[in-house]
Amino acid sequence: MEETAVTINDGDPSQRSRADSSSAWRLYAPAAALILFAVALAVGALWFAVVEIDRTAARSSSRLAITAIEDVTRDIALVAKDYSYWDATTANVLTDLNPEWADENLGTYLAETFETAATVVIDGSDNVVYTWVDATWPSLSPESVDRILADLAYPIGLARDAPMERPEGVPCLVQTEIGLVVAGVAAITPESPLGDELVRHARPVMIVLRPISAEWLARTGERFGLDNLRVLFAVEEASDHAVTLFRSDGSVIAALDWKAPKAGLNALRDLAVPAAVLLILALAASVVVIYRAIQAQQSLVARAQDLSEANSDLVTRDQQVRSALQRAEHATRAKSAFLARISHEIRTPLTAIIGFSQILKLQHRPNREKTREQEYAEIIHESSQHLLALVNDLLDLSKIESGGFEINESWVDISREISSIRTVLGVEADRKGVALTVDVPDDVPALYADSKAIRQILTNLVSNALKFTPQGGKTVVRLLPMADGGLTLAVADTGAGIGPEDQVTIWEPFTRARNPALAQAEGTGLGLYLVKMLAELHGAEVGLDSEIGKGTVVSVVFGAERVRAVAA
């Protein structure tokens, strides 16, 4: 019988190795996949957080850049408005150019305070009246100033179109040899426009230029956290987060660009070492990064919100200031209306009192002793006359201040008006023992004016002269033709005089000189103020020449346009 050998195969070692490897792969593959998935998820979350943080930071930095450029343009517009809405500017630049005053107040002061580089003033015909350029900007030549004025034609028109009672500063951006410049444009407007000034016309304009300098960019970048803040005139080279800047006509002039903040990458860099050492904790690290990213975002949002609230607060305060100004204007109109109404209400019974007291006065017979009732009647009559004069002054004052005083101009025989006042006030002069004389040439031309206003001016000036001239003094009314064709009306007296410290304030309402010799004289301090207002309604100028103890001369000078046609 044949034996059969049976061999048992324990297996090939390479096969066992492959089997073990396959088993291990089946074991580790899910774990590796899970780890890879976790890592990919962590990396994805980290990347998403980084991108979102950087995007949010870029948006926030854009809002900050817009706020910065809006702040500087608004500030320059306010500077131009404030210094153009100032009577001192009109007097020292337009009326009579005072270079020293203009250089100090409109040049050096603005440059030192608001970092301006130039100030330009043009008249209504766009002719340059005054120019100041900072010596530290030599490239800003007169030719470049002319080009700047040409670029500012549109904002100049907007500034001139602003209402007289509410002038506005117009901001705009201009490209010059010294780079980007913020221009503030405002029409030069009187603080209290009167007469022809209220008629719409091409007003003079002040232009203030402030360069967007490297110092301003560095300071603003540090303040708002904008790294490498710069101005790019090649707008196509600007980054996506850059702020586009426009000219006054809406065209693009430049872009404000900076290095975008990398808050997300900075946060990820802080976690680089732990992430490299402990890869398995990448998911936990990503949670930490996301948490920090949220904190960074909230910080940026809070900062932007604070800036927004600050800007809103500034707008609210500006509105409150405007509202206060409007309330003040309404109060002034209400005061004038009240004075006009109460003056009318007082005049009616006052006229009856004057009439009845006059009748009682006339009952006195010569060579008879006055009764007590007649003495009282004289006191009532004199007091009523004084009160009527005060009421009339208040009524005229309220009409002038409210703009309701209308002048009806015609050719007036000024010499006849002077003679009429001489007749009316001659009795008062004789009663006080003051010589009232008239010095009028024979060939005085007619004056184109309101006859009632001229009589009011004469009455106030002569009454004042008589009031403050002692017994034995004299008062003279003179008419003096001027070499340029104008006409001067002057009233001179030998009274107590007015001190130099009072010669400016004496023209204000309810103001009297502080000379002790005038303390006992009656009056409300409205006479000279009404004379000044009535003269200005005729385009005339008032003058005062006085010396303590030697008398006073008050003059009203009418322009040649009011006498030339008749004189010819």
Are 106 and 207 contacting, i.e. CB atoms less than 8 angstroms apart?
no
Highest mean pLDDT among 229-238, 269-278, 380-389: 229-238
| 359 or 110, greater pLDDT | 110
Indicate if the pLDDT at residue 167 is higher than 50: yes
User: Which domains, and CATH codes, for the chain?
Assistant: 54-192+200-270 (3.30.450.220), 333-399 (1.10.287.130), 406-567 (3.30.565.10)
Distances in Å between the Cα of 319 and the Cα atoms of 111, 163, 313, 316, 325 are: 28, 18, 10, 5, 10
Q: Does the predicted model carry a pTM greater than 0.75?
A: no
* Of 261-270, 431-440, 496-505, highest mean pLDDT: 431-440
Report the pLDDT averaged over residues 319-341.
Answer: 73
pLDDT at 109 over 90: yes
- Write out the H or E segment, with its range, that includes residue 435: strand 435-439
Residue 448 contacts residue 562 (beta carbons within 8 Å):
yes
How many Å apart are CA 458 and CA 506, to the nearest integer? 18
568 — pLDDT class (breaks 50, 70, 90):
very low
How is residue 207 annotated by DSSP?
Answer: E
pLDDT digits 0-9 by tens, 275-325: 666 666 655 666 565 566 666 667 777 888 888 888 888 888 888 888 888
pLDDT at 567 over 50: no
Q: What is the DSSP string of 290-354?
A: HHHHHHHHHHHHHHHHHHHHHHHHHHHHHHHHHHHHHHHHHHHHHHHHHHHHHHHHHHHHHHHHH
The answer to whether the beta carbons of residues 183 and 209 sit under 8 Å apart is yes
* Mean pLDDT, residues 513-520: 54
Q: N- to C-terminal Cα distance for the chain?
A: 171
pLDDT at 558: 92
Classify residue 107 by its DSSP letter.
Answer: I
What per-residue confidence (pLDDT) applies to 101? 94
Alpha-carbon gap, residue 93 to 15, rounded angstroms: 106
pLDDT given for residue 184 in this prediction: 92
pLDDT for residue 488? 92
Per 3-state DSSP, what percentage of the chain is helix, strand, and coil (rounded to 5)? Answer: 55, 15, 25
Q: 107 or 48, which is more confident?
A: 107
CB burial readout 151-161, b (16+ within 10 A) else e: bbeebbebbbe
Query: Which has more pLDDT, 558 or 298?
Result: 558
Backbone torsions φ then ψ of 251, nearest 5 degrees: -80, 155
Give residue 498's pLDDT.
85
pLDDT (average), residues 2-19: 48
User: What pLDDT digit, counting tens, does each position of 486-510 carry?
Assistant: 899 999 999 888 888 877 778 777 6
